[in-house]
């Protein structure tokens, strides 16, 4: 192999770099030119044979290739003044057996005109895209689409595929998942991918509106319907969402009386504003979301079974963050960028122990809690890297055991939960192995896994 490389090195380099548009140069560890492709020679106006073996500083103005070959530190997209203009170059150290043996230089743009053209072209496209996104947002209240759902895990990949399949139809979708798992993001994405995407997306938070106001919020009212009613009346969320999507968030908290009325609207496609005698036709797609166990609420007669079947045509179950550790690192990096951009502070990464801590914590508030923890850490840190000390105490593993405000039972349960979680992680979820390691029976482990929702 070495012999081939030695004997045919020029031929190999020529095959790889000879026909590419970029200008390429290779220097040895002392900065002497070993190879320069035709594109670079043409650009410099020099003869290919004459450059071989010359020191790079004698061939290229302001070159830093010899420095990169000596320090082993790459320089990406660096500006270099050459032949009366600035060009943009990458300089990458070449290594063999861990040692720097030379450097590869690549000119990306030969003059500022070239990259300015590309830069302004891309900028123009971005600005155009941004303006369309803003218009869409103003038009229909949607600010997120599927590409805003950051994930790596196969679980989320499957969910995104499911969303793509159900979005175009008109079927009702029930989004289930703990608080902060991204149900609203999914609701926006479904609307965004549906044929209704030029029509309004209207959200109703069923838990936030007092029961006695919910009906007028949902169905609207006519002028004079009650004392204090606005002149001219007020359209309800159903009327506002006509042609588009109505997102019923926290549907498990909807009072029974309103449930009956919603069911009637969904069955008849007509809504009657308070005080009105003539029903109005409405065409809305329903997306509902809840973190409550609706089946239990049905058993307790707090939620209507017929409404449940109506809204639960397709169900999307979003797993809690602790059940998709594959998403944690990516989400943490994404949220760090989002938070630092918002706050305007330069913090670029987390130390490895922080990622470990994130993986161990059980995130009851899911992605929303992760964002809050990261925001607090960004405010607190004095470095560019977030350290364990910058995190709030309650998410650090040992804090569970020393919190004086908790009862002994709570402390013991927290310790038990942590021990089981760590062991399961160690044995990649093999419950038999975990039970043996912990010295408990398999069925006892199953009970505890269920109890702590691991
Ligand atoms: N996969 C994700 N990628 C990027 N951001 C996410 C993701 N999941 C959640 N978020 C962010 O986390 C926050 C909470 O998400 P969202 O409001 O959609 O959750 P939710 O399940 O509707 O919560 P709740 O039940 O409390 O209303 C939002 O700021 C959202 O942008």
- pLDDT tens for the 454 residues of the chain, in order: 455 556 667 777 777 777 777 889 999 999 999 999 988 898 888 888 899 999 999 999 888 999 999 999 998 888 777 777 777 889 999 998 889 999 999 988 776 666 666 666 666 676 677 677 777 666 666 667 788 899 989 999 999 999 999 998 889 999 999 999 999 999 999 998 888 988 899 999 998 888 778 888 899 888 766 766 677 778 899 999 999 999 999 999 998 888 998 999 999 999 988 888 888 899 999 999 999 999 999 999 999 999 999 999 999 999 999 999 999 999 999 999 999 988 888 999 999 999 989 998 999 999 999 999 999 999 999 889 999 989 998 888 765 555 556 777 887 888 788 888 878 877 888 899 999 988 899 999 999 999 888 8
Q: 308 φ, ψ to 5°? A: -55, -45
Residue list, ligand 1 pocket, CB within 6 Å: 149-151, 177, 179-185, 249, 291, 331, 367-368, 371
Distance in angstroms (rounded) separating the CA atoms of residues 212 and 269: 23
Burial grade of 96 (CB within 10 A; 0-12, 13-18, 19 or more)? exposed
Which atom of ligand 1 approaches the CA of 175 most closely? 21
Residue with CA nearest ligand 1 atom 23: 180
Burial grade of 350 (CB within 10 A; 0-12, 13-18, 19 or more)? buried
What CATH number was assigned to the domain covering residues 1-109?
Answer: 3.30.450.20
Residue 177 has which token pair?
Answer: 């998942």
Helices (H) and strands (E) in the chain, counts: 20, 16
pTM over 0.90: no
Distance in angstroms (rounded) separating the CA atoms of residues 201 and 389: 42
Residue 176 has which token pair?
Answer: 């289930």
What stretch(es) of the chain map to CATH 1.10.10.60?
Answer: 408-452
- All residues at 6 or more sequence positions from 123 whose CB lies less than 8 Å from its CB, including other chains: none
Which atom of ligand 1 approaches the CA of 187 most closely? 18
What ipTM was reported for this prediction? 0.98
What stretch(es) of the chain map to CATH 3.30.450.20?
Answer: 1-109
Distance in angstroms (rounded) separating the CA atoms of residues 213 and 220: 10
Distance in angstroms (rounded) separating the CA atoms of residues 143 and 159: 20
- All residues at 6 or more sequence positions from 93 whose CB lies less than 8 Å from its CB, including other chains: 68, 69, 71, 72, 73, 74, 100, 102, 103
What stretch(es) of the chain map to CATH 3.40.50.300?
Answer: 146-317
Residue with CA nearest ligand 1 atom 28: 368
Q: How many CB atoms lie within 10 A of CB 231?
A: 7
Chain centre to alpha carbon of residue 190: 16
Residue 40 has which token pair?
Answer: 């670079």
Architecture of domain 146-317: 3-Layer(aba) Sandwich (3.40)
State the maximum Cα–Cα separation within the chain, in Å, rounded to a whole number.
96
Distance separating the N- and C-terminal Cα atoms of the chain: 52
- According to CATH, the topology of domain 408-452 is Arc Repressor Mutant, subunit A (1.10.10)
Cα 180 to averaged position of ligand 1 atoms, centre (Å):
5
Q: Which of 182, 190, 332 should be mutated for ligand 1, with most atoms under 8 A from CB? A: 182
Q: Which of 188, 288, 367, 372 should be mutated for ligand 1, with most atoms under 8 A from CB? A: 367
Cα 138 to averaged position of ligand 1 atoms, centre (Å):
21
SS3 state of residue 274: strand
Cα 363 to averaged position of ligand 1 atoms, centre (Å):
13
Q: Which of 180, 190, 326, 374 should be mutated for ligand 1, with most atoms under 8 A from CB? A: 180
- According to CATH, the topology of domain 321-399 is Helicase, Ruva Protein; domain 3 (1.10.8)
Which atom of ligand 1 approaches the CA of 177 most closely? 21
Alpha-carbon distance values, 437 to 117, 152, 422, 450 (Å): 63, 30, 11, 18
Name the DSSP class of 319: P
What stretch(es) of the chain map to CATH 1.10.8.60?
Answer: 321-399
Which atom of ligand 1 approaches the CA of 318 most closely? 21
């Amino acid at each position: 192999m070495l012999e081939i490389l030695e004997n045919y090195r020029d031929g190999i380099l020529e095959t790889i770099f000879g026909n590419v548009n970029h200008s390429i140069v290779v220097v040895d560890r002392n900065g002497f030119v070993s190879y320069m492709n035709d594109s670079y020679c043409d650009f410099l106006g020099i003869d290919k044979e004459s450059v071989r073996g010359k020191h790079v500083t004698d061939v290229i103005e302001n070159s830093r290739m010899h420095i990169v070959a000596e320090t082993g530190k790459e320089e990406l997209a660096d500006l270099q003044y050459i032949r009366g203009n600035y060009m943009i170059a990458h300089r990458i150290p070449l290594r063999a057996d861990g040692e720097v043996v030379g450097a590869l230089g690549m000119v990306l743009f030969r003059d500022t005109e070239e990259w300015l053209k590309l830069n302004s072209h891309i900028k123009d496209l971005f600005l155009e895209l941004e303006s369309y996104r803003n218009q869409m947002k103003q038009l229909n209240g949607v600010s997120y689409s599927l590409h805003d759902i950051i994930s790596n895990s196969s679980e989320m990949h499957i969910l995104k595929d499911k969303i793509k399949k159900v979005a175009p139809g008109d079927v009702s979708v029930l989004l289930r998942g703990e608080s902060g798992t991204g149900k609203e993001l999914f609701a926006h994405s479904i609307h965004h991918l549906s044929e209704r995407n030029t029509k309004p997306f209207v959200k109703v938070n069923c838990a936030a509106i007092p029961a006695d106001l919910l009906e007028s919020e949902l169905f609207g009212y006519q002028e004079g319907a009650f004392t204090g009613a606005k002149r001219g009346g007020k359209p309800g969320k159903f009327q506002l969402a006509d042609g588009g999507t109505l997102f019923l968030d926290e549907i498990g908290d909807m009072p029974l009386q309103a449930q009956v009325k919603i069911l009637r609207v969904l069955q008849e496609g007509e809504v009657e504003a308070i005080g009105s005698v003539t029903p109005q036709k409405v065409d809305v797609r329903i997306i509902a979301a809840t973190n409550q166990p609706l089946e239990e609420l049905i058993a307790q007669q707090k939620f209507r079974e017929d409404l449940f079947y109506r809204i639960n045509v397709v169900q999307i179950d979003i797993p809690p963050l602790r059940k998709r550790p594959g998403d944690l690192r990516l989400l943490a990096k994404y949220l760090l960028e989002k938070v630092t951009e918002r706050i305007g502070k330069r913090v670029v990464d987390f130390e490895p122990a922080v990622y470990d801590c994130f993986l161990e914590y059980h995130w009851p508030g899911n992605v929303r809690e992760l964002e809050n923890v990261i925001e607090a850490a960004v405010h607190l840190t004095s470095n560019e890297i977030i350290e364990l000390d910058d995190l709030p105490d309650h998410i650090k593993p040992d804090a569970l055991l020393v919190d004086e405000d908790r009862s002994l039972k709570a402390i013991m349960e927290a310790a038990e939960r942590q021990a089981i979680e760590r062991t399961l992680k160690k044995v990649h979820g093999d419950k038999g192995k975990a039970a043996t390691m912990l010295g408990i029976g398999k069925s006892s482990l199953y009970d505890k896994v269920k109890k702590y929702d691991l």
